[in-house]
Amino acid sequence: MHATQVTRSDFDRLMVPNYAPVDMIPVRGEGSRVWDQEGREYIDLAGGIAVNALGHAHPGMLEALTDQAGKLWHVSNVLTNEPALRLASKLIAATFADRVFFANSGAEANEAAFKLARRWAHDTAGAQKNQIIACTNSFHGRTLFTVSVGGQPKYSQGFGPALEGISHVPYNDIAALEQVISAETCAVVIEPIQGEGGVIPADHEYLAAVRKLCDQYNALLIFDEVQSGMGRTGKLFAYMHSGVEPDILTSAKSLGGGFPISAMLTRESIAAHFGVGTHGSTYGGNPLGCAVAERVLDIVNTEEVLRGVERRYQLLADGLMALSHDIPVFESIRGKGLLIGAVLSEAWRGQARQIQEAAQKEGLLVLQAGADVMRLAPSLIIPEADIAEALQRLRKALAGLAG
């Protein structure tokens, strides 16, 4: 076999310029470390944006993938398959839900959720009940429906008319929702933790009050747990901290731990409105993706891993505050479990991208959530020694920036 040499500069020549990847190309990963083309090593606190729940090249995931790869890759939904049914049954056993729809990305799971909510309302109450209420600053994906529902206008502007029947209210503000919700509302959509919006958790009282309003107006409550789900917060799904159950929940990112798969979970009476032929996906429920996700779920949904998330949060949060004591970079640490937002102090505001780049030069991968928040979403099983070393590398990077 002969390899064609490619470099980062090829990206600018070959790819649609909608991304701005950093100036190295990773070629290999193991656990929470990755290596680039030059053999430089990095500690990964970005986790592929909250996707690599078990780090890189996890032996259990590799085994599930290769076992399935030797058996059956794809059959389409003209047929069902064993991994999809096993994964569905485990997701149902672990959550509020009793029905599952599989897709391939977070946006597609949300697309299914929004379509289902409208179809349910159409069938049960009539065509006028089609209003969807979402939150300012929320993120639900990049299809036209999901950018229309999302609360960041920069993602929907310039793409022609947005979808109609959608309104936005401030997050964590029950009075604002009370003003807008009506008998024509079919669904209220909430991220239990706003990820892209800056790692902002919803108050538990807020979620309980939203649930009450939804019940009062016969509207469905949709939790978008694409980023917050699958163990990320120390429980399998973030809603489990509040005790407030949704009617529809979407999961993606960590669900496949790096293999593209997503799921929409719901109750039986709602699911019934997606009858034969109403919705679908060629790849959705693909045996490879489901086999990998089943293994991820088996590993993540254990006391050991979930409790470990709490401990790792504490190590990171304490470390970041200690660091900030010496170099006053962060004004607060927010988020839950291993979805952490370190809010930049006034003097550092707007510099999240610079911090990300400086960290990379020191062998550390971090994320931003807007220009004012450094975001961390590492593997749920990142070794504690890697956390300690990551904090040292971050200190070095920040000291360099502070000059």
Least distance (Å) between residue 340 CB and ligand PLP = 15
Least distance (Å) between residue 262 CB and ligand PLP = 7
Nearest to 67 by CA among 83, 56, 88: 83
Least distance (Å) between residue 108 CB and ligand PLP = 7
253 is catalytic: yes
Q: Which two tokens stand for residue 2?
A: 């002969």
Q: Compare residues 189 and 333 and give the one whose CB is closer to ligand PLP.
A: 189
Out of 101, 139, 223, 237, pick the active-site residue: 139
Give the DSSP letter string of 245-285: --SEEEE-GGGTBTB--EEEEE-HHHHTTS-TTSS--SSTT
Least distance (Å) between residue 183 CB and ligand PLP = 28
Q: Which residues bind ligand PLP (CB under 6 A)?
A: 105-107, 110, 139-141, 191, 195-196, 224, 226-227, 252-253
Q: Compare residues 64 and 147 and give the one whose CB is closer to ligand PLP.
A: 147
71 is catalytic: no
Question: Do the beta carbons of residue 249 and residue 265 sit within 8 Å?
Answer: yes
41-44 and 364-365 strand pairing: parallel
281 is in an annotated binding site: yes
Out of 253, 330, 336, 372, pick the active-site residue: 253
34 is in an annotated binding site: no
Q: Compare residues 231 and 363 and give the one whose CB is closer to ligand PLP.
A: 231
27 is in an annotated binding site: no
Give CA–CA dist 293/54, Å, rounded: 11
| CB neighbourhood size of 133 (10 A) | 26
Out of 224, 247, 372, 386, pick the active-site residue: 224
User: Helix or strand or coil: residue 193?
Assistant: strand
84 is in an annotated binding site: no
Question: Do the beta carbons of residue 178 and residue 167 sit within 8 Å?
Answer: no
Burial 180-218 (b: 16+ CB within 10 A, else e): ebeeebbbbbbbbbbbbbbbbbbeeebbebbbebbeebe
Q: Compare residues 222 and 398 and give the one whose CB is closer to ligand PLP.
A: 222
Burial 246-283 (b: 16+ CB within 10 A, else e): bbbbbbbbbbbbbbbbbbbbbbeebbebbeeeebebeb
Q: Which two tokens stand for residue 347?
A: 């003097």
Q: Compare residues 31 and 284 and give the one whose CB is closer to ligand PLP.
A: 284
107 is in an annotated binding site: yes
Least distance (Å) between residue 276 CB and ligand PLP = 26
Residue numbers in the known binding site for pyridoxal 5'-phosphate are 106-107, 139, 224-227, 282
Residue numbers in the known binding site for N(2)-acetyl-L-ornithine are 142, 281
Where in the sequence numbering do the catalytic residues fall?
139, 224, 253
